[in-house]
Each structure stands twice: as structure tokens, then as C-alpha cells.
Structure 1
Amino acid sequence: MEWHQLPLGPLQTNCYILSKEDNTCLIFDPGEESGKLRRFIEQKQLKPLAIILTHAHFDHIGAVDDTRDEYNIPVYIHEKEADWLLDPALNGSHFFEMGKLVRGKPADHFITDEKELKVGDFSFQIFETPGHSPGSLSFYFKDAGLVISGDALFSGSIGRTDLPGGNQDQLLRSIHEQLLTLPEETIVLPGHGPATTIGQEMDSNPFLNGF
């Protein structure tokens, strides 16, 4: 399996495309610039199977509807943020002057708990990692040795917790109990910025020391 990082939109939110040898792929957090995402998919001759969201802040969902309609694929999100796709006040686009309000259609599938999810030939574990937002999720691909952490854990930092539904103590618990228990060599693919590893964050992330 290959992974591709595609920063999109004014906040350079990382969209991830994970692909198999048969060119099927999953799309995580198509935040903006649907045309750029479409060109990438066409260039690589990929066949999208689904859109999966780590959470529903506006900078992670701006291209969801265009991408869903383009490829006729389902959207997955945590049930706690089901309404966020529809409501600019909940997804934050109402409060940040980034050019437009984000108001989309409902998701097709709602994630209610931690489990293993299978989409096509992709199998991965769902971790609930709230704190940045109530329905934040991380997705662990054990065979590939990587976890998509959304805005929970970054290289050298953690997600902000001053937005509605944020809670720093809860976020730190999520990181320590769900992410830092993974093998240290696990690659972390965050919602913004460069990739890192669990071991690197355990050793040097200043926000995680002393918790």
C-alpha cells in the first residue's frame, strides 16, 4: 500500500490518499481544492472507494461533496459530528473568514464506536481520539505501519482545543491511551504539517511531557 499527502486549501490541510496495487484508493479529509485532488487521482489513475473523515472542521471537509459526486462514493464520519457537515456554525466556517461557508450533504455512514473497518481490500482500526473535537477519529493501518491522526497529534505539537467541543485534558488522554501505545516506528500522518513517528513524538514532543 502507498500513501500520498496532498496539502489543500488556505490552511494547507493534509488530504491523504491511500492506494493498493490495483489502484483502488481511500481519500481522507478532502479539505478544499477538489480540482487539484481530481487531477492527482487522474494522474495516478486511481479508483476511489470512499471518503473517510478524521473530523468535520471546515478545513477538512470543503471538497467532500464535489469529490463524492465526482466518483459516486460514500462518506464516513463519527456520529457525534454528523450535523457538522451541514452546519457552518458547527464546522467553524461561520467563524473563520476563509472565503465561504461550508454547508454540505449528510454523510452516508456514521461511525459509532471503535472497531475494524473494511472498505474494499482495505482493513484498518478505528480509534476514537476526541479532544480537538468531540468526534475526532484516528485510523490505524497495522500492516502498513501508519496511523492517520487528523488534528490530534502533529509533529512536535498537538491539536488546538479552544474551538467548540475541544478539551485539552481529553485530547492528551486520547493521545497517550490510543496513539502512544502503538509501536514506536509507526508513521503518524497528521492533519497539518509533515509526517512523524510515534517514537519521535514520545521523545521530543513538548506537549506530551509530564502528562
Structure 2
Amino acid sequence: MLKIEQLELGPVQTNCYIVSNEKKECLIFDPGEEENRVRELLKKRDLKPLAILLTHAHFDHIGAVDALRDFYEIPVYLHHLERDWLGRPNLNGSGKYAALPDYRIKDADVLINGEKELVLGSFRMDLLHTPGHSPGSLTFSFPEERFAIVGDTLFRGSIGRTDLIDGSETKLLQSIRTSLLTLAADTVLFPGHGPDTTPAEEEKSNPFL
């Protein structure tokens, strides 16, 4: 059985998720900032990370990527449509805000192209391309465990913003309806910000849907 732990990191409290198994292996999703807090949690739990997985490449999801990648010597996975975003502040959004430094992260080690099953160690997950918030937004679904990490595609009672580069409300709503709401109704959806939800709850009460 997998265990999932959440850390709220960085200036906009982005959710970073640590998914671990009984072998003490883990995956790191969206380490937005504060690499020391991630390392402290992994040390406390005696976990060995296998990879960093990014739902997308906006600045608030990538700030601690290089520090953690270099410390643990693990690969970073990202959708190929955002291959240039990590190192370009005008694309990852950090260049939009004068109060923020420019985020320039090294290239991803593995570029994801197409929807498929991804296997890392004993972890098995379905990759769902869910564009709209950004062109390469990914959902990492664990159907046997009944949860999915959805990034900024869907929130409890809301949806991701679409006013950033290459955002599209039409594509976002299509992604939600065809990829997320078709998951098992009780699947726990873990978003990039805020509390978790389920497809059943969002179909019933989300005013955007």
C-alpha cells in the first residue's frame, strides 16, 4: 500500500507530494521550493527517492528541483511540450513578477510524450495529458490506490487559471471532463494548491463544471 504525504512549499504554498511504498522508496512530485523541508521529511521517514515528477513547469512547482536532483542524483520527468520552460523565466512565469527571482532550472532528464503507464521501481501509474492550465500539464493517476496527483488542472470547487502562456479554458474543461471526471468517483484528487477532492464531489458542486 502506498502512502502520500503533503508539504506546502514556497511563496504561494504549492503542494509537494511524497509518495512512498513499503520498501521505503519514494517519488517526489512538484518540489516548488524549500528543498531542506523535503530532505528533512525524507530523512525522518528513512525514504530513498527514485525520481522527481512534475505536473507542469510553472515556477511555483519547480524551485527545489535542481537542489534535490543533485543531492539525490535522481532524474526529473516532465512533459515534452514544456521542455524549454524550466530554464526560461518568461515561460515558467517567474519573469512575470518583479518580486521573484528568475527561475532557471536545468533541463529535465526524461521527457514524457503520450499517455501511457509509467513504471518506476515498484510504482505503477497512468500518465494523463491534461492541458489547459499549461500545454504540458500531466496528471499522475494511481488507479489501484484510488488517487491521482492533478497539478493545477482542478481544485476543490475551482479550476486552474488559463490566462498564462498557452493556457486554454476550452482545453482545460475538456481535460477535466474527459480525464479527471472519468476516474473512479471516489478517487482522491490531490491538487497543486489547497485541499484534496474527488470526481464525485466536483461533479456535484464545482460551479465551473
**1:70–1:98 CA distance, 2 compared to 1 (3 A):** farther
1:78 match: 79
2:105 match: 104
Letter in 2 for 1:110: L
TM-superposed CA distance for 1:197, in Å, is 1.0
SS in 2 for 1:85: coil
TM-superposed CA distance for 1:152, in Å, is 0.1
Deviation per CA, 1:135-174: give whole Å up to 9, x if none.
0000110111001100000011000000010000110000
2:145 match: 144
1:161 match: 162
1:13 match: 14
Letter in 2 for 1:95: K
Q: Distance in 1 between matches of 2:182 and 2:9?
A: 30
TM-superposed CA distance for 1:97, in Å, is 3.3
Write the mapping of 1:39-188 to structure 2, written as runs, cut at 5 A. 39-188=40-189
Q: Distance in 2 between matches of 1:204 and 1:44?
A: 37
Letter in 2 for 1:127: L
Tell me how many residue pairs correspond in the alignment.
Answer: 208
Letter in 1 for 2:16: C
TM-superposed CA distance for 1:100, in Å, is 1.4
Letter in 2 for 1:160: R
TM-superposed CA distance for 1:98, in Å, is 4.3
Spell out structure 1 runs of 4+ moving beyond 2 A: none
SS in 2 for 1:169: helix
Letter in 2 for 1:162: D
Deviation per CA, 1:10-31: give whole Å up to 9, x if none.
1000000000011100000000
SS in 1 for 2:84: helix
Q: Distance in 2 between matches of 1:98 and 1:136?
A: 25
2:27 match: 26
**1:16–1:60 CA distance, 2 compared to 1 (3 A):** same
TM-superposed CA distance for 1:96, in Å, is 1.8
Q: Distance in 2 between matches of 1:87 and 1:10?
A: 19
Letter in 2 for 1:164: I
1:204 match: 205
TM-score normalised to structure 1 length = 0.97
SS in 1 for 2:85: helix
**1:43–1:97 CA distance, 2 compared to 1 (3 A):** farther
TM-score normalised to structure 2 length = 0.98
Percent identity of equivalent pairs: 56
Q: Distance in 1 between matches of 2:84 and 2:72?
A: 23
**1:49–1:9 CA distance, 2 compared to 1 (3 A):** same
RMSD: 0.7
Q: Distance in 2 between matches of 1:33 and 1:165?
A: 28
Q: Distance in 2 between matches of 1:98 and 1:144?
A: 40
SS in 1 for 2:96: coil
1:189 match: 190
